[in-house]
Amino acid sequence: MKNQSSFILGLLVGASVILSLGFHPGNEGGETSSERTVVPDAEKKIAQDKNLEGPTKTSGIDGVTTLVELGLGSEFPGLEGQQMRARELVLAPGAVVAVHQHEKRPGFAYMLEGEMVEVRNDSAGPILRKVGDVAIERTGVSHYWENKSGKTARALVVDLVPVK
């Protein structure tokens, strides 16, 4: 368990350092501008089926850059077919990430720049996420994000997803 935690911490620190230095890798293998998928459709559908409150459409996403996709099967045989993915999201002023419920896609979002308001089912009210804050996203967490700051926001999002 200690090695897993050290590995994940190393990935977070390394990606944060790269991004904070202003290096923004190309989108090779990542989403294109016409495919800026932030939330899987299946997770938005769960929110719709449960009539969860919040915006139903994602908008104002200026960039989704896949930084790394790391297959986990060779590291952990029980995770064959799964990968750890790190992406940088760039959210314009007024951007919205639609309400969705995480389903077997654990991860976290680390704020690199700006701030976002997060509304989630396991909190009494909206949470203002600022630079250095981390939002944990587990199965069963339903939430949405809004950039109400008037400035661009950037987040490092690391999650576990099926290998493409």
Helix or strand (DSSP H, E) at 61: strand 59-71
Question: What is the structure's pLDDT at 8?
Answer: 47
d(Cα 5, Cα 149) in Å, to the nearest integer? Answer: 33
Query: Does residue 7 have a pLDDT over 80?
Result: no
User: 2 Cβ partners below 8 Å, 6+ apart?
Assistant: none
Give per-residue pLDDT as tens, 126-162: 999 999 999 999 999 999 999 999 999 999 999 999 9
Rounded distance between C-alpha atoms, residue 141 and residue 106, angstroms: 9
- Burial profile 67-91: b = 16 or more Cβ within 10 angstroms, e = fewer: bbeeebeeeeeeeeebbbbbbbbbb
pTM of the entire structure? 0.77
So where are the chain's domains?
2-162
pLDDT confidence bin for 2, thresholds 50/70/90: low
Closest by CA to 123, choosing from 144, 105, 102, is: 144
What percent of the chain clears pLDDT 70, i.e. is strictly above it?
Answer: 78
- Mean pLDDT value across residues 43-69: 91
User: Mean pLDDT, the chain, as a whole number?
Assistant: 82
Q: Tokens 């050290």 appear where?
A: 6
For residue 67, pLDDT over 80 is answered with yes
Per residue in 78-108, pLDDT tens? 999 999 999 999 999 999 999 999 988 899 9
Tell me the CA distances in angstroms from 8 to 2, 84, 140, one per residue in order. Answer: 10, 9, 22
Question: What pLDDT does 126 receive?
Answer: 97
pLDDT digits (tens, 9 = 90+) for 34-47: 335 788 888 888 88
Distance from C-alpha of 144 to C-alpha of 126, rounded to nearest angstrom? 10
Whole-number pLDDT of residue 104 = 87
**So what's the pLDDT on residue 1?**
52
Q: Which residue has the higher pLDDT, 20 or 97?
A: 97
pLDDT at 32: 38
Element (H, E) at 88: strand 82-101
Q: Which CATH superfamily is domain 2-162 in?
A: Jelly Rolls (2.60.120.10)
> Which residue type is seen at 70?
L
Q: Where are the alpha helices (DSSP H) in 21-144?
A: 41-49
22 or 161, greater pLDDT: 161
